[in-house]
Structure 1
Amino acid sequence: MAAYLIADVDVHNTAAFEEYRRDVPATEARYGGRYLGRGGATKVLEGDWEPHRLVIIEFPDMQSLMAWYESPEYARLKAIREGCASTRIIALEGVLPSN
């Protein structure tokens, strides 16, 4: 069952964030991740939410998502991101429709 990483990234240092933005897609792809949305325009339809840079990545399953998130190759990039941005991230397991 697919799993989705959803992140709201508030970048404080654009120059430092560039290395993360450039290098992270290759690490995700190794675990079957693919972007569904990345940094596009947003429009809040309900609620009190001010998104910054939203990212949605689909993985084959939660195990693949967590393997990527906890991987050594992502650890280096995660440290870069944490130094130049504030981020809220959730992992969402997809739900199959019931018949």
Structure 2
Amino acid sequence: MSALVLVEVSIHNPELYEEYKKHTLGTLQKYGGKFVVRGAQTESLEGDWNPQRLVILEFPSVQSAKDWWSSPEYTVAKNIRYRAAQSKMLVVESVGPVGA
């Protein structure tokens, strides 16, 4: 079953965050990951949730998402993100492929 990774990001160093973005794309392919949403404009329909930046990734499984997150390749990018932004990240099992 596929999995989604949802990331809410508040950027405090935009230049460094651009560096993070450059490193991240290449780390996804090995784990079957792809961007579904990457920083698109958001609009709250309920509650007071309005993230500065929202990213949604899709992976073939929860395990592949976790393998990506803990991989040496992504750890380099992740350490840049830790210096550039504050983030909240969830992995959730999907009911099926996005768009199905």
Instruction: Establish whether TM, by shorter chain, passes 0.5.
Output: yes
> Counterpart of 2:8 in 1: which secondary structure?
strand
2:40 aligns with: 40
Matched, 1:10 2:1: no
Aligned amino acid, residue 66 of structure 2: M
Amino acid at match of 2:8: D
How far is 1:95 from its partner? 2.6
Q: Alignment partner of 1:48: what SS? A: coil
**What do the CA deviations read for 1:42-80 (whole angstroms, capped 9, x no partner)?**
110001212111000000001100000000111111111
Runs of 5+ consecutive residues of structure 2 not aligned to the other structure? none
Matched residue count: 96
Aligned-residue Cα RMSD (Å) equals: 0.9
Q: Give the TM-score of the pair, scaled to structure 2.
A: 0.92
Unaligned runs of at least 5 residues, structure 1: none
Counterpart of 2:20, as a letter, is Y
In structure 1, C-alpha distance between the alignment counterparts of 2:91 and 2:29, rounded to whole Å? 17
TM-score, with length taken from structure 1? 0.92
SS at match of 1:86: strand
Consecutive aligned runs of 4 or more in structure 1 exceeding 3 Å deviation: none
| CA deviation vs aligned residue, 1:18-52 (integer Å, no higher than 9, x gap) | 11111201101210001111011111000121211
Write out aligned runs for 1:2-81 (5 A): 2-81=2-81
Query: Percent same amino acid at aligned positions?
Result: 43
